[in-house]
Amino acid sequence: MAAVFAIFIGIAGLASSASAQVSQPKPTGTPSPSSEPGPIRSSPAYAETLLRKTELESDLLSFAEDYTDQNPKVIDTRFELATLSKDIDRLFAVRPDDVQKLTLALGKLIVRRAEIETELNRLLRSYKPDHPQVIRARKKAELYRDALKDILGGK
């Protein structure tokens, strides 16, 4: 009986060591940005852009009751939402080594750029591209684009 018990303990020990080996993940190389979004999601820049995106989504829901899709408020809100969504995607493309760049100031810069791009889009719907207000807004938008490019790189 003691021999059977000893064999049972031995088999149980082998099974537990085998399962311990299977359950331990093997170390991998540098994680890709999409596989480790935790640090990005907890960054101040992401929080700021997510706040504005949520406000815009809420506005869009409330506009749906009173306005058609052709209303300038709806068009502007959708445009700004699309701009913010692209910038959020750019945040998730940041390498894990560069997460410290995702500051509150960057978040505010992203939100302000989306507002300026929306204003430019609004002006382009009303005026020709060579109108002085459009030219001014285009220069302003270019400054914000360059600042974002300087911090995040890319386009």
- Alpha-carbon Rg for the chain, nearest whole angstrom, is 26
| 9 vs 61: which has the higher pLDDT | 61
pLDDT digits (tens, 9 = 90+) for 88-101: 999 999 988 889 99
Q: What share of the chain is helix, strand, coil (3-state, %, to 5)?
A: 75, 0, 25
Q: How is the chain split into domains, by residue range?
A: 37-152
Residue 142 is given by DSSP the state: H
pLDDT confidence of residue 36: 58
For the entire predicted model, the pTM comes to 0.74
Angstrom distance (rounded) from CA 13 to CA 20? 10
pLDDT tens per residue across span 43-53: 999 999 999 99
Question: Is pLDDT above 90 for 60?
Answer: yes
Task: For the chain, give the mean pLDDT.
Answer: 83
Tens-place pLDDT, residues 99-114: 999 999 999 999 999 9
